[in-house]
Amino acid sequence: MSYLVISAHDYRSRRKAGLHFIAGELARRGPTRFFSCQYSLLSDLKSDPRKSIGSLANRKEMHEGVECYLWKTLIHPFNMRKEMFQPLESFLFRRYVGRPSPVLVEWIREADTVVFESGIAPVFFELVRELNPAARTIYVASDDLETINVASYVKRTFDRIAPQMDALCLKSRFMADGMPRSDNRYVVPQGFDFSIAEHADPSPYGEGIHAVSVGSMLFDPGFFAIASRLFPEVTFHIIGSGTGRHDGYGDNVHVHDEMPHKTTLPYIKHATIGLAPYRAAGLPTYLADTSLKLMQYDFFGLPAVCPSGIVGDYRSRFGYTPDDADSIAAAMRAAMAAPRQTFRTPLEWSQVVDRLLAPQDYADTQLPGEARRTEAAAFAYSQVA
């Protein structure tokens, strides 16, 4: 079997998301290609994480067993936000899809399975159906579309085509309310790379109490402005936040540039506590299940401090209210006093990909209260559609 992944990520990026691990696992099962879209000269004007590999755009390259292509255009369609610009937004998206990269056309025709990541990727679904109607189509809901603020055109397109896909795979049950109701929805949780334990030594720290934060998603610098003043005895490490040092930080805050994923692991394993300082505005509940940093903290037995809305049912997490000094202080004290232990064992990425490719075969993928989509029902739907 051959696989094609369509995403606004790039497999070669330093910053690793779940789809990178999925693509890596697919490559162990058959020829796998990773097509990165929505990249243009406009991307160079903002903090697109693919800027570091921009020189590789518009040419094929094998990277760690996956054939990659970063499609760079003069401009790309984007969310224009205001209703008055909707006609122009729709025009740009139709033009983008109507003039696809020849590489994308080639790879679609040769794929047995096409994986669409949440974001812009679903706008190419009808192109897949036109060029390769036999291909199996799988949607990976890494994020809720409202949460990542996709363009109205993308949302409308997804709402229309979602029931026609073979499987809509949600990383958390909390995503269900933001998805079109259809009988092809499944829960396939975030996986985990257990081999990270092999790359987590030695400790990069000296003596003392160390708290670490990794990543840039919804990063809230205000947390550190408060916590660093309340806890001068703690050394705070911020890795890859996408922002520089803020005036409110205490001298005990160390800001590190973005670094390769493996390089972050010793900082996590040997920390005293892990931090997930997400902003309150727009914080999705499903992060309780999908936050990779929180999963890594739990794997290494770190007590974690995070906003109360994403504590979930994890006993190793201690919640606070953003911008509330008293609640931040209470969460920090509780985490520093908590024992180091792991409360939940996640799926390995191989188990996740098993479920993505055939979610109907696993009892644990069914959403509570929803009937499983049978082959007969899928055939009947296809005849109507």
Half-sphere exposure of 340 (CA within 13 A, CB side): 13
Chain centre distance of CA 207: 34
Chain centre distance of CA 340: 26
Q: In Å, how far are 123, 137, 282, 294 from 145, measured between CA atoms?
A: 13, 18, 12, 22
Look up residue 274 and give its two tokens. 């892990």
Look up residue 123 and give its two tokens. 């706008």
Catalytic residues: 143
**CA pair distance 227, 243, nearest whole angstrom:** 18
Half-sphere exposure of 205 (CA within 13 A, CB side): 21
Q: Which residues contact 30 (CB under 8 A, 6 or more apart)?
A: 1, 2, 3, 112
How big is the chain, counted in residues?
385
Angle, CA 59 vertex, CA 58 and CA 64 arms, to 5°: 125
Look up residue 154 and give its two tokens. 């993308």
| Burial degree of 95 (CB within 10 A; 0-12, 13-18, 19+) | exposed
**Cis peptide leading into 346, omega within 30 of 0?**
no
Look up residue 116 and give its two tokens. 């669409």
